[in-house]
Structure 1
C-alpha cells in the first residue's frame, strides 16, 4: 500500500488517467466528425456558425483529418501503456507478472473508457459533438500535418504497389442521395412515390428525347386530305389536344392541329363543316432531333412557351412526339386528367411478376414494379428482350436476363405485343424450350 501511495506512482497514475481522457477525446472526435451530417453542417454554416465552417473544412480533407486523429490517439495510447508498465513494475517488481497485469489493465481501460464509451456517446449525437470538438481537432490536425503527410505518402505508395487507386471514386453526389433515399424508404421514412420523384429529378439529366417520347406507332395523326367528318371523329377518338397533320404519307408532316383552333373554326362556320379548311388551321410543326437531351428540351419548351414537338431521326424521318407533360411525368409520375384513358400496359399477377405490353418503357415498368431492369441499350421492354436475345423471339419462347424471366405471350409480325416478366434467380439463358 505504501508503494501505491508513493508520490512518483501517484504521479504516474494521474498522467495515465489524463492520457486515457485524451484517448477518449480522439475516439469520440473521430466518430462524431466522420458521422456528422454534411447537410446539417452546411445549414449551420449558412446560419453563421463558424464551428460548422471548420467541420466542413475538416471533412473536405478527410485523409488529413483521420491521419491527425489516429496519430494523436496512437501516441497517447502507447504512452499510457508504457507508463502503466512502469507503474506495475514499481508495484510488483520487474518480471512477467508486471507485464501481464499492465497489458490486461490497459486493454480493459482503453477498450471501455477510451473506445467503446466515447464512441457510443459520439454516435448518439454526432452533429452536436462535432461542433464542440471542431476547434481543438483543427488545431491538432494543423500541428500533426507534416507527419501525417509523410505517413500518407508511404501509405499511398504501398497501396499503389497492389494496384489500389486512392484517388478513384465510383460514387457521385447523386449516388449518395439515392442511397440515402433508398435507406429511408426501407426504414419507412420516405414513401415510394416520393423516392421515385427524387430519382426522376436526379436522372432526368441522363435522358434524351427518344427515351421519353411517344413512339410514332402509338401516335394519333390526321390526314389533312380527310373529309371534315372523319377529321372530327379522329380528333374525338384520340383524346388529345394537339395532333400532327400529314399529307398522305405520315412522314410528310405539314403542321399541327390544335383542338381549340378546330372548335373556333366550327363555331364560326355555325355547323357547316364543308367550309372547314385544315390547311388554314394548321400550326407550324416544331421538329427536334431524337438525341436532344430532355433538360435542353424542357428549357426550349419554357423559352418558346410550347408544349408539343415532333421528334425526327438523323435522316429526318418521324420518330414520335415529345410533350411537356411527358417530361414532367419523368419527375412526378403519371399525370392523368379527365380525358386520359387508363391504359397502363402493366398487369400484375397474384403469383408474382406482371404481364407487360411490349411498348411499355423500361423506366415506367421499373417504377411500377420497383424493379431494376437496365435501360442503357433499349427504351422499351420488347426492345430489351430483342437486344439481349439478338433475335426476334417467337410466341412461347422464354429468356432469363439480369435476374428476370421474360416469356413471349403475343407477337404481331416482328413486334412483341405482350410478354410475362417475373423476377428469377436463374442464370442468364439465351432461350428456354
Structure 2
C-alpha cells in the first residue's frame, strides 16, 4: 500500500517547518522603524508586532515550539513512510534511510532556504506570515508562556539578568564621537548632545511639558467651522477636546481628520467637533520619566499625551516633538518661538523677557544662574515661587544683583518681565560681539 496520507502529512510538516523558521528570521531582521511602518499600514498584524516589542521571548517561544512539534511529527512520518516503502530492509537500515532523508529535507526546505529568503526579504515574508500567526498563536500560547517562565527561572538561578543591558556612558560617547567624525553633526555640538543623552533618562514630563495655561483646547460643543478657524490660527496639528471643564478631556482632534471629514466626507460644518475627535487618549503623570513616555508613544503610535497631576487633573500636554527636542535640540516649526520672540532688548543692561521662557533658555541667553527646583520650570514660575503670589504689574524682585520687574500679568499668570542686570554682566548676544 502506497503511503499517500503519510506523504501528505510529511509535506505539511516540512511546509510548517519552513514557515516557523522563516518567520523567526524575518521578525528578528525587522528594524524598529520597519515595525512601526508595518503596524501603521497593516492593523491586523499590529497586535503581534506590538507583542513582539513588549515581550519578544513569548513570540520566539511560540515559533520554536511550533517548529519542534512539526519536526518531531515529520520525523515520525518519515519513519513510517520508509518502513512501508522499504519493508524488505532491516529495521536499522529503514531508520537510517528515514533519518538521512528527513535531515536533508528539513535542512534544505525547512531551514536554509526559508531563512535565507526571510533574511533578505523580511517584509515580504512577515506580512502573510503574521496573518497566519494570529490564527494559531492562541493554540501554542499557553505552552509558550510556561516555557518562557521556565527559561527566565533558569537564567535567574544561573546568575543572569532577564532585563536587556543598558547602553553605557562610554558607548554613548563612542557613538557621538563616531557620528561627529562621519559628519553627522558638528564637533562643537558633541558636548551638548552627550549631556542631553545622559540627562534624558532623569528628565520627567513636568520639566518639558506645555503647561495647561499655554495649551490650546477645544470645547466638545465647538462646531467644525469654528474648530477649523481655530486650528488655522493656532497652527497645531492636534488639539485636545474637553467637555464641561479642562479636567475632562474626551478626545483629541487631528487636523488631518478634520480636513478629511469636511472635504471628502462632506460633513455639515455645524456638526460638533466631538464627532471627528479620536476617543483614544493617552494619559501620563507629571512625574513620569520621559524615556518611559517615549516608549508609550512608540507602543501606542500616539504623538500627544495629556499630562495629569496626582489628583487626575489636567496639567498640560506633552508631544513626541517635545521629547525628541530634549536630545537633538529644537525642532523648529511654524508655531515655535525663537530668542527674538522671547527677548526684547531695551538697552545694554535691560531686556523684556517672555515669562514662559524656560530656566535653561534664560540661563543660556543671559549667562546667569538661577536656583533649580522641581516646583517651576519657567521664569514666571521662578518669580511666583520666590514671592508666593502672582504679582501685579510693577512688582519688583531683586535676586543675585538682577532686578525682575513685572511688565504684564493677570490674576492667573505672569506674561512679561523686565530684567535689569549689572553693567559688568553680558548676555549671549553681547558676548558674541
TM-score with structure 1 setting the length: 0.50
Task: State which structure, 1 or 2, has the greater radius of gyration over its C-alpha atoms.
Answer: 1
TM-score with structure 2 setting the length: 0.50
